[in-house]
Amino acid sequence: MKYLKAGTAATILMGPAVDKTDGVTAETALTPTVYLSKNGAGQGARSSATAITHDARGYYLVAIDATDTDTPGRLRALFSDDATHLPVWEDYTVLPAQVYDSIIAGTDKLDVTVAEQANIDFGALQKASLNAATPASIPGAVGSVTAGVTLAADAVDAASLKTDAIAEIVAAVLAGQVEAEGTYTVQEVLSITLAVLAGVTAAGGATLKTPNGVATRVAATINTSSERTAMTLTPSA
């Protein structure tokens, strides 16, 4: 497919024009009149007044101007002379300037612009909806978007999302099971370990509490040989 940029002058190569009799011999001295058909409409002479010149081997350089390419869509350029040569035509797709510059020239980017509908109210959006395992819909009124998007003071922003993500990761780690016998989690093991290493003791060391002495985390049953025969663990949740 051949592309042209809408509203922009260009020079196109048309041909080959070959002799009508043998269909092979290149016609190199023509002064053709090029006609254009835009999106299947009737043919009209090109707007550009620049002379058409022969390039080589029956191919001609044809200048077209911004008026010739003013209609995005299909464009057929053609010239013919029944008495001299076989018909010559070329088909093009005329792209809007930004599309052409983005896809063909690589000098622009396609825009995705929210317009025509204004005032999206993000104030009522709930962060819990974003954290849901199976998101269904985001609550909140969606209105028009023309003057831009205004976030309310309690809107979800990058900082709050980061905080939520960290909290979720920490919670997931602490909930991980580290002991099959008793199914103790990381959180429970840490609370018991803290009581053993830095907690307040009672009953001759058989009872170990939190560092502030409020909650009992370990209650050991010790026999006469100073062996622990039973352990009652009350880890924090």
Question: If you average pLDDT over each of 23-37, 107-121, 148-162, 221-235, which comes out highest?
Answer: 23-37
Amino acid at 220: A
Q: Which residue bears the tokens 């909290």? A: 167
Q: What is the mean pLDDT of residues 50-63?
A: 98
Q: 147-202 pLDDT, tens per residue? A: 444 545 555 566 666 777 778 888 888 888 877 777 888 888 899 899 999 999 99
All structural domains of the chain, each given as residue ranges with its CATH number in brackets, are 3-105 (2.60.40), 117-172 (no CATH), 176-233 (no CATH)
What is the pTM assigned to this prediction? 0.49
What kind and span of H or E run contains 186? helix 186-198
pLDDT of residue 121: 53
pLDDT of residue 38: 97
- Residue 122's CB: how many other CB atoms inside 10 A? 17
Q: What is the mean pLDDT of residues 79-90?
A: 97
Per-chain mean pLDDT for the chain: 84
